[in-house]
Copies of this chain bind each other. A is one copy, B any other.
Amino acid sequence: MAGLAERRKEMLDEFTRGAIYEAAVNVLTQHGLGGATMDRVASEAGIAKGSLYKYFRTKRALLEFVHNRAIEPLQKRLSELVDQPLPAVEKLRQIVRHWREHLVQNRPVFEFLVNDRAVQSLVRDSEMTARALAVHQIASIISQGIQQGAFRSVDPRLVADMFIGAAIGMVEHEFSSGRVREVDEATNSLIDIFVNGLMARGGTTVLPSARERGGTQLPGE
């Protein structure tokens, strides 16, 4: 009996939290972070402000909830992929493709919540920020690639951070260029660059990198 009532309540709770999530995303989309008031969220969710506070004790808690729920699928997929028996490159490729789709489909949330410093400081949980977790896991994929001889020896965490940055840059490009391209086009471009580099192969000579040059300065540097 008690168990049933409890389960019932939990489900209702979960349902309402979903509605609040939708409402918060709408408000964020329409009014931006600054205009996202508890009043508006409650009204958009069709509940009273007092009830909203029953579900989230502070605004910060609400924002954390929205933030986490938005990021959750990304983290989940990343975790799953890390453990799969795939070559490192394929893992990266699938990660990027999934990120891209998710971001494009949930653009407003990421516009206003995830990629926003103000929120990040607001929702920064005690231990490990979402990004740090992603870096950690992508770094492990890169390490795998190095160990398996597919990748050169690089600093996995550094490259992981660059990789994430490039992925974000890719999505920003799609946002700002207004046009959403073939699902694989941008994804493959990113992987292609990271795997093969920009260098034209076959006979063409480029200036050696500074590392290869031993750090000498070119004129103008």
Interface positions of A (Cβ within 8 A of B): 32-34, 81, 84, 86-87, 89-90, 93-94, 97, 111-112, 115-118, 121-122, 131-132, 135, 142, 145, 149-152, 154-155, 157-159, 161-170, 172-173, 176-177, 184, 186-201, 204, 206-207, 209-211, 215, 218, 220-221
Contact = CB atoms under 8 A, between A and B. Distances in A.
Copies of this protein in the complex: 4
Given A157-B173, A165-B168, A221-B97, A195 B192 contact: no
Given A93-B209, A194-B193, A197-B194, A220 B84 contact: yes
Contact of A192 (B93, B168, B193, B209): B209
Nearest to A113: B117
A133 to B, nearest CB: 12
B191 A210 contact: yes
A215 B184 contact: yes
Nearest to A34: B118
Among A122, A161, A172, A187, residue most surrounded by chain B Cβ atoms (within 10 Å): A161
Given A90-B207, A165-B166, A173 B188 contact: no
B158 A165 contact: no
Nearest to A87: B207
B152 A118 contact: no
Nearest to A146: B200
A142 B173 CA distance: 15
Among A84, A118, A198, residue most surrounded by chain B Cβ atoms (within 10 Å): A198
